Chains A and B, each alone.
Chain A
């Protein structure tokens, strides 16, 4: 592959990407395909994102239900989630996201392996499904005896006007456990992103702050936007524990209901996936006075940096020393493996089209083994995920975004407690720690590389043909089409059932996996010996 490479100019590549589109579609896509270059003042170019997908282009995107039930609620083991709708949505979101969870004892609740649904039938669509939903909640309560039940709405629920929230209130009063509902119908918003926001709002309103008996510890944080795909959270938990940092709550990898309920007792919120969870951090800051910082545990140096940031925030010499000790202990193995794979991976190219943060975070790991991201983009990111949060005041709110509720949050009369004095905050900022900031993906990308929002299958094929990257990162729907084109695809949703990729151990796993995938000799055998060169067919002739 590598020897055939001819890198076209980014302008030429963009032209190719747009060439076949109808004029109106091309005009829109031109604003979502951006050539990266530094602009004076540290700015980056503007990119259109969080915009409607053009029908029929073959998109990677899913729906609001997937973002709410699948992404945010999916990893929580002891909230019993009932999907109110026809059978499919519950079925498809059943165990398919690899959210690992680890209970402390065999008696503890774990509903991860269960899919519960009202399985709406035609008569429910015609006559309404509220009665059925109530009956289903009673049955679920009797069988599982959970401490909380979440109700997730699918498309028809909103259309027929079932009031899931009043059902939740009524059943909460009847059964005496916390029951809350999410209006996460698939058609809301333009992607999964709307579902994240709806889930954040619901969990914040109905669960966070309901229990003051959080975990005790000297350095208490919440980890936000980490979903424990392939055990990532276990590796992060291990590192935090070794540093003596207490994780009160995770949103929501390996999480429990009690973690959410006590999250307000932490002193710092650390955001991994900015897109899916920044709402929660912002609301907790307003209501409880907990500051938030952006962290990233994908990549060994990013992990070290994130641990140092947390130590810097708590400003404790013992913690700082412990963090350095852990980093010093972990890094040699990381460096050893990276040195082993680098001779094979150095100079190779990658493309990343995934998620709302992964396309950014994983560039760190590729850089660590000398690989370059030539094109990247999000499936459901917003402008702030690309350009940084400073563009937030300038983002136009369109009709689709307006449909997603923004909660009106105020400081809590009792529980609001500033974690740092103004002076302390100023000192920390002067020391280089940024609060409530995310710089976005585009700043990390090299001049001349491409950022493409909500990539279509057609554009994927053009990119493969134009750049012939050594590896392409996306999801299951893209996996085999890309591989049939002769390019290995690394799934960054499911990790191809491997991982973890977070933290130091995760970095080692990733280096080895990418080395294996980009060096696999099978790609050299796609053609049979007789298909390879021009050859004159001949037969042996008897002498």
Chain B
């Protein structure tokens, strides 16, 4: 057994976290910053933070993840990291010529109270920031929230630093996609293009973290939202912020800074959440939904009506980030499945309340906990078995021990590649999820079927 010390006996834990279902803020900020074209993220802290974040993102995307670090030593930790950051800015523009350096803090620099904007000002006074280049920053104390909070904070900083209202409205919609993979951001752009809606999506890691192999390494790949696009978000007709935790703060900032009307939606994962997204986009842009979109929706529903018997009543355990879990849970309910146990590491009672609302009509009591961990999820599973686990790669140890199929959704996925190239958002993404769920359930049925009752046609 991989997790041989995990038992059914659930002891109340007040302090100890075992096998986390979250990580820290800075990695989310680094990921979001990579969604700005020509941006080099910079970690203001000791080297290990940057190294760990780059390694984890690299394992998840199998792509270069470039970022700088202030390389704090004990001296910098005592006297402050100002000199380190000023030197870093100079070196980065000299060596790597980014358009933007996006600085995020760490628990180290937050604990000692480093004032990043004043250090950036010093760098500017020294002439280390070339004309037309930018250094932005966000505060990401690791002891608050989770990686999703860090993503939200860096995305909000894009608004704080760049968004401008010229007073002249632009015929475009802002979409804040949330902490999703590049394939999901690309899918949102594809949907908007089908609907002939001009959008600015930020951040946008498509074309950055799924770049083609050409034999030439581009430090700054083709993708990413550009600075002029970010500036223009202040003149957009509306903002659709997808995901309460990851995207609402940036949407709210844009609303208060530039008075861009805001609609906060769930991530468009599954049928109903995608319906609400399409409807909101249609309304905000004043367009008709084209038949091509209706067709994709109809295909998704077709799969459910064709295969409904295999979904019905199947019990699922889920671990992941709040925005994904809210939408996924709703999707499972739509399919007649039972989301039996749900944990996220990200703290927040609002999440638990939302899940309770979505699952109110569920025939069994749903276990849900925010600010929790995979150890508890595993114990819940041991006490009350499920047919399927949906979560990140770390869930595979639970899946093997309990002999339950696992569908990899979330962050990080470090042992499979599908998420890099294929979306889970939109109707197409829903179709992919259905395929994954069916494959897992039907493969299991095939594996377990007896000689007398194996089914050829399913």
- Interface residues of chain A, those whose CB is within 8 Å of chain B, are 20-22, 25, 52-66, 82, 85-96, 106, 109-111, 113-122, 124-125, 132, 135-136, 139-140, 142-144, 154-156, 158-160, 186-191, 399-400, 403, 456-458, 461, 475-477, 479-486, 526-527
Contact = CB atoms under 8 A, between A and B. Distances in A.
Most chain A C-beta atoms within 10 Å of own C-beta, residue among B46, B72, B216: B46
Interface in B44-60: 45-49, 51-56, 58-59
A458 B95 contact: yes
A376 B216 CA distance: 23
B52 A62 contact: yes
17 contacts: A20-B94, A20-B95, A56-B70, A59-B69, A63-B46, A63-B47, A91-B22, A96-B59, A116-B17, A122-B141, A125-B141, A139-B13, A140-B16, A186-B47, A399-B75, A484-B211, A486-B215
Top 5 closest pairs, chain A to chain B, by CB: A63-B48, A88-B24, A56-B88, A92-B52, A56-B91
A91 B24 contact: yes
A197 to B, nearest CB: 14
B90 A56 contact: yes
Contacts of B49: 63, 88, 186
Interface residues of B, number: 81
A56 B87 contact: yes
B108 to A, nearest CB: 4
A461 B1 contact: no
A444 B405 CA distance: 50
Contact of A92 (B55, B84, B144): B55
Given A22-B90, A116-B16, A191-B47, 10 more contacts: A109-B5, A125-B143, A159-B111, A187-B77, A190-B73, A399-B75, A456-B95, A457-B66, A482-B217, A484-B214
A159 B113 CA distance: 11
Given A62-B51, A143-B5, A159-B77, A118 B20 contact: no
Nearest to A458: B95
Contact of A484 (B53, B144, B217): B217
Nearest to B128: A22
B217 A119 contact: no
B305 interface: no
B47 A484 contact: no
Given A63-B46, A155-B45, A480-B64, A117 B108 contact: no
Contacts of B2: 113
Interface string B65-84: 11111111111110000001
A58 to B, nearest CB: 6
B55 A117 contact: no
Nearest to A154: B107
A182 B3 CA distance: 26
A476 B74 CA distance: 27
B142 A87 contact: yes
A186 B45 CA distance: 9
Most chain A C-beta atoms within 10 Å of own C-beta, residue among B14, B18, B19, B88: B18
B15 interface: yes
Contact of A485 (B18, B67, B95, B217): B217
A121 B143 contact: yes
A55 B63 contact: no
A55 B88 contact: yes
B421 interface: no
Contacts of A90: 17, 20
Contact of B68 (A22, A58, A89, A91): A58
A120 B46 contact: no
Contacts of B324: none
A156 B73 contact: no
Nearest to B141: A122
Contacts of B90: 22, 56
B120 to A, nearest CB: 13
B223 to A, nearest CB: 14
B67 A87 contact: no
Nearest to B67: A58
Contacts of A57: 68, 91, 95
Contact of B47 (A53, A89, A94, A110): A53
B215 A86 contact: no
Interface string B205-244: 0000001011111100000000000000000000000000
Contact of A403 (B11, B74, B107, B214): B74
A106 B91 contact: no
Given A86-B107, A113-B3, A458 B144 contact: no
B20 A87 contact: yes
Contacts of B26: 88
B270 interface: no
B372 to A, nearest CB: 11
B361 to A, nearest CB: 34
A22 B142 contact: no
Most chain A C-beta atoms within 10 Å of own C-beta, residue among B24, B48, B144, B394: B48
Nearest to B14: A135
A118 B16 contact: yes
Interface in B354-397: 375, 394, 397
A95 B75 CA distance: 31
A400 B73 contact: yes
A63 B45 CA distance: 10
A454 to B, nearest CB: 10
Nearest to B108: A155
B23 interface: yes
B424 interface: no
A188 B68 contact: no
A403 B84 CA distance: 19
A48 to B, nearest CB: 16
Contacts of B24: 86-89, 91
A503 to B, nearest CB: 26
Most chain B C-beta atoms within 10 Å of own C-beta, residue among A135, A159, A484: A484
